[in-house]
Structure 1
Amino acid sequence: MDGLRSGDIITVKIIENNNGLIKASIMGRSILLKGPANLQIGQIYRVKTQWTGKTLLLNLIHNKNNASDIFGAPGQTDLGFSMLYSAAKRAALHLKNENVELLKRLLRKKGPLNEEKARLAAEAVKKGLAPEELISIIEHRSGEDRGSQEKTLLFNHLKDGNELWFIIPYSFGIDGTQLSGSLRIKKNTDSGKLTTAVIETEIDSSRLFFMISDFNSEKRRLKVFSEQPLDNSVKNKIKSGLPEILGNLSMKFDDNIIENCFRNQSLEMDFDGFSCEETSADGIEEVV
């Protein structure tokens, strides 16, 4: 690959692994590799590059702070460990024993775990709340559930660090249609400026996420994600309506709508209902 030299340290995301025949994402490109059969799909690994003639070798860098080391031994729940680990890192949650044990409770609960629930749990634990406290906002619409409203208000009130997420649930009717969801805002408390906003809503029985990144920059852009596959009529409605609205707001619209956004292995950067960013394979903090 152009630009790589021996000794460079890069990250590799495993997209497919068929007994050592691996499809991976490296520096934004999809590459076919040969490697260990036990590399987990969806995981991101740190590697050190080494050129031998025209052949590029990628040497795995052992990281003691990986998901299996922190959340338990490898097994059928490795995918759950990986999601919780990634969510904790994105939330900048310290992986000390009590926080790890709180997050592991989700693996013993009934119902599937996905990136969004894992991130909600990590954000809750970061503020000293039980990991299940925020998940109720997507399982029961907060506008109709007083208990969920109170949990969300408490979450918004608690402070931790200089970059904070606030969750504002909503539920209202317009032209005979009921709309419900949440507005998720990231604020830098030092500058007082918003940096990211995600509008989560339901349209025609589909959960959609409209994410605005680089909020205070001229480069701000809107990306659209869907939890489920979308009908063409819904996609066309979004693609035809948003550009005109956003043009008045000096904002670019990425018209590549990402469907099945949770655990979409073809994505170079995973979306979790809050952010869409590559997760480094570095550990945050040793388990103490």
Structure 2
Amino acid sequence: MSKCAFLGLGVMGFPMAGHLSRSGHDVSVWNRTARKGADWSSKFKGSVAKDAASAVFGKEFVLLCLGDDPDVEAVFDEIEPNLAAGMIVVDHTTASAGLARRLNERCQKRGASFIDAPISGGQAGAENGKLTIMCGGKDAAMAKAEPVMKAYGHRITHIGESGAGQLAKSVNQICIAGIVQGLSEGLHFAEANGLDVAKVIEAISGGAAQSWQMENRWKTMSEREFEHGFAVDWMRKDLRIALAAGNAAGASLPLTALVDQFYADVQAAGGRRWDTSSLISRLKTIEN
């Protein structure tokens, strides 16, 4: 088993680090909020480091699951002096491809390797060890890191060179944004026409309209229950990254830009921490 440092014990990182421990890896964890580390150590076998730099010292794998580009860069600045030849840094944060490429270069200067490996599957996927992981990096580093990531990853795909994993995650978020908006409008249409929504879903979920969002979110969307899942604030961060990458590549993303503004409406209505399925909340029946 491997010596691993896991930095970031949020709703995703907490169970991911737990799966590493349960798989027999030697795990050291760190979180900015010390209480999270104490809570983790009460549930799983492993050590809690006093700071990020000491967490990574002497480890084979350094795994990060943080919030945004500035968070990743700040933590990387702390751990960089303790990165040694042969170490592999795996960043599970959804961040920019540009940051991934910069950190890859900084790792190479120390003889270490870097893999950008954003995740999809939500909190349930993290807790059940069934995450989808999209990776960018060198073949040799991937071959070593994949057995470690299998502790919490169900589908692990090496997309390409550094930054490719983050770009693939943007594709994922672009597709989700369009699907959730379409599902919101479909459910809203059914309600406005007085249809039995459950029967409509039963009818259409076996055909071409089927999606993960339909299967897992139609009921809570119909009930206007959004206190779960992936927060709107985080989705807007991801779409900001996707729109910036699209602009840099000359890719037109009109629907993504529109849905991003719809999410801004949800934020303004107090739904910053609501699940992304809360797009339906901004649709109102027009009185004739």
Is TM more than 0.5 here?
Answer: no
TM-score between both structures, scaled by the size of structure 2? 0.23
TM-score between both structures, scaled by the size of structure 1? 0.23
Could you say which structure has the higher helix fraction?
2
Could you say which structure has the higher strand fraction?
1
